[in-house]
A and B are shown apart, each in its own frame.
Chain A
């Protein structure tokens, strides 16, 4: 089965053809935004990082930025820097150069201030846009797709409708030799035995237990018990009884296939099939990590209703019940609530999600894209001074 995508020089396939304006440091965020506003066909992001990172944190943030800027949905990137920061445009560009990714650089100090940097940035952005227009969609096998899965604003029905339906779609993509990312490590706690039982080998099985243990250790170090609030009072009121029950509902969105690999935040999988990415459950942080890992489409399930999108990758939203779908129709692409009414099965909703993934990968805009949602947040290890 095919989708229509953009072939990039590094061989990866994009589902969008964006020109990205990316500040490598917070000090360049305003200038990046000004360039983005002046050249509205581009996509720009802001973030609080780029300086003061210690050791592992620098590598962690840099890897995420490189993965994001070098994503196949980015036809060209304008890297905006200040000049005295830790993570410079040149540092990111050095990593991108080897991949064939098209980039340009503007630095505020070198240009002599905001006004001149914005002027130069506008010209470079326009140039990148002009080049991007030559890209054409071609047919590629869906095995080229990496699907990110995420859930947020979950309710008791997420584990009964939207998540298992997304799991059906995930299994279909894995059967077609595609790749699916299951993430949100805190929501694997209590379901490790199920996941490890499906691990391709002992190493993968051990890694699953390691990442959940590390997440718990983090909570202990902070002097809090992660499980003191899981399930939350609202979850319990809604009928969720134990942490195991909550996690077992959350992991259904990854489907039922063999887990081939566990990768770190923003790390690219080297295996096809179902892969776990170690990440916080924070919606935008998790999406950004999966995008930097190479996800070209994300499906996000919600029970309470979440408007979330992402700057360069389409996010398809699936509601778990009819009520939220009726209330937030402009945010939701697919409603899994019919499973409760008996008008649809988990399988049929899963097949609809799968069809939507292919169509969105081929260019159809999601609700979040139409509304202009582009939430962006990079995971920090907290090692900054």
Chain B
């Protein structure tokens, strides 16, 4: 089977595209022992992430089963998840 996207941990709320994916594509992603079907709302570049479910502003982004940052706006299922809608929580020298 040729994967389109990978999820490394059952608690993850994002998947990583392992080939270029097109807006409107329906992607079936294996997660834990099940499968989630996601309709992409945007094209996703190779190596980039998209949301597996609706993520609210302020909610944590989970990859590898761990927090990799926090949503800075509401993110819809199937949307591109990257620096435009996620902030890192660590190493914020710009914050007191």
Q: Please, what's the 1-or-0 string for B58-96, where 1 marks a CB less than 8 Å from any CB in chain A?
A: 000101101111000000000001110011111101000
Q: Are A242 and B86 in contact (CB under 8 A)?
A: yes
Q: Are A242 and B68 in contact (CB under 8 A)?
A: yes
User: Which single residue of chain A is at the shortest CB-CB distance from B44?
Assistant: A239
Any chain B CB within 8 A of the CB of A227? yes
Q: Are B91 and A157 in contact (CB under 8 A)?
A: no
Question: Cα distance A241–B82 when bound, in Å?
Answer: 5
List the B side residues contacting A164 at CB < 8 Å. 8
Question: Cα distance A190–B88 when bound, in Å?
Answer: 9
List the B side residues contacting A193 at CB < 8 Å. 66
Q: Are A227 and B91 in contact (CB under 8 A)?
A: yes
Question: Cα distance A240–B2 when bound, in Å?
Answer: 23
Chain B residues touching A, range:
20 to 34
Any chain B CB within 8 A of the CB of A244? yes
Question: Cα distance A223–B70 when bound, in Å?
Answer: 28
List the A side residues contacting B13 at CB < 8 Å. none
Stretch at the interface among A94-102, A168-176, A245-253, A366-374: A245-253
Q: Are B82 and A239 in contact (CB under 8 A)?
A: yes
Q: Are A189 and B6 in contact (CB under 8 A)?
A: no
Q: Are B91 and A189 in contact (CB under 8 A)?
A: yes
List the B side residues contacting A226 at CB < 8 Å. 91
Within 8 A of B (CB), among A144-198: 155-157, 159-160, 164, 189-191, 193-194
Any chain B CB within 8 A of the CB of A271? no
Q: Give the distance to chain B from A289, nearest Cβ to Cβ, in Å.
A: 24
Chain A residues touching B, range:
20 to 34
Q: Are B91 and A342 in contact (CB under 8 A)?
A: no
Any chain B CB within 8 A of the CB of A56? no
Question: Cα distance A252–B87 when bound, in Å?
Answer: 22
Chain B contact residues: over half helix, strand or loop, or mixed?
Answer: loop
- Asked, given contacts A239-B16, A242-B88, A244-B90, whether A342 binds B1 with beta carbons under 8 Å apart, the answer is yes
User: Which single residue of chain A is at the shortest CB-CB distance from B84?
Assistant: A241
Any chain A CB within 8 A of the CB of B48? yes
List the B side residues contacting A242 at CB < 8 Å. 68-69, 86-90
Question: Cα distance A194–B87 when bound, in Å?
Answer: 19
A245 contact from B18, B69, B93, Cβ within 8 A: B69
Question: Cα distance A190–B2 when bound, in Å?
Answer: 32
User: Which single residue of chain A is at the shortest CB-CB distance from B90?
Assistant: A190
Within 8 A of B (CB), among A209-244: 216, 225-228, 230, 236, 238-244
Any chain B CB within 8 A of the CB of A341? yes
Q: Are B66 and A157 in contact (CB under 8 A)?
A: no
List the B side residues contacting A230 at CB < 8 Å. 91
A227 contact from B68, B82, B93, Cβ within 8 A: B93
Any chain A CB within 8 A of the CB of B47? yes
List the B side residues contacting A248 at CB < 8 Å. 63-64, 66, 68
Question: Cα distance A242–B14 when bound, in Å?
Answer: 14
Question: Cα distance A239–B8 when bound, in Å?
Answer: 16
User: Which single residue of chain A is at the shortest CB-CB distance from B49?
Assistant: A239
User: Which single residue of chain A is at the shortest CB-CB distance from B87?
Assistant: A242
Which of B45, B49, B81, B88 has the most C-beta atoms of chain A within 10 angstroms of its own C-beta? B88
Q: Please, what's the 1-or-0 string for B1-16, where 1 marks a CB less than 8 Å from any CB in chain A?
A: 1110010100000001
Question: Cα distance A226–B92 when bound, in Å?
Answer: 11
On B, residues with C-beta under 8 Å from A are 1-3, 6, 8, 16-18, 45-49, 61, 63-64, 66-69, 81-83, 86-91, 93
On A, residues with C-beta under 8 Å from B are 155-157, 159-160, 164, 189-191, 193-194, 216, 225-228, 230, 236, 238-245, 248-249, 252, 339-342
